[in-house]
């Protein structure tokens, strides 16, 4: 488990790479395009990641099914990519649920749809 400072350093690196992608591609593409570009940047910059990671969701000891997160960064940060008008309450609730399911502390939502990259940090019991 990494500490707050390490999580912040990793998240700042991810955000910096997301700005690079947004500056190069601009708004208007579907989420998959931004996801692929970020995966290329992560690989080029030695950021460990799992793309489209499947997670199991349980309830009272029973497995209910699976969900897929866009990225798990350095085994610690959940990253969700959006190409929406704005980050909504449902996006925030979704990533918070993923954080709880994986017992992780920090999630990032990056919305590439607008002329300015929209970033939301979501914290689970920090």
Nearest CA-CA partner of 83 in 56, 112, 59, 46: 112
CA distances in angstroms from 93 to 1, 58, 80, listed in the order given = 24, 17, 12
Domains in the chain, number = 1
Per-residue confidence (pLDDT) for residue 126, from 0 to 100: 54
pTM: 0.94
Per-residue confidence (pLDDT) for residue 120, from 0 to 100: 97
Domain that holds residue 83: 4-123
* CATH number of the structural domain spanning residue 57: 3.90.320.10
Phi-psi region at 41: left, alpha or beta (left = phi > 0; alpha = psi -120 to 50): alpha
Query: Could you state, in chain order, the average pLDDT of each consecutive group of 10 residues for the chain (126 residues)?
Result: 90 98 97 98 98 94 95 98 96 96 96 96 86
């Amino acid at each position: 488990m990494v500490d707050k400072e390490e999580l912040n350093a990793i998240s700042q690196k991810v955000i910096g790479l997301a700005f690079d992608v947004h500056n190069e591609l601009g708004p208007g593409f579907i989420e998959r395009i931004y996801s692929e570009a970020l995966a290329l940047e992560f690989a080029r910059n030695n950021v460990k990641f799992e793309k489209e990671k499947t997670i199991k969701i349980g309830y009272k000891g029973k497995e209910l099914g699976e969900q897929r997160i866009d990225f798990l960064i350095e085994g610690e940060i959940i990253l969700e990519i959006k190409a929406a008008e704005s980050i909504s309450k449902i996006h925030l609730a979704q990533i918070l649920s993923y954080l709880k399911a994986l017992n992780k502390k920090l999630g990032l939502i990056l919305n590439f749809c607008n002329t300015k990259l929209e970033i939301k940090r979501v914290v689970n019991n920090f």
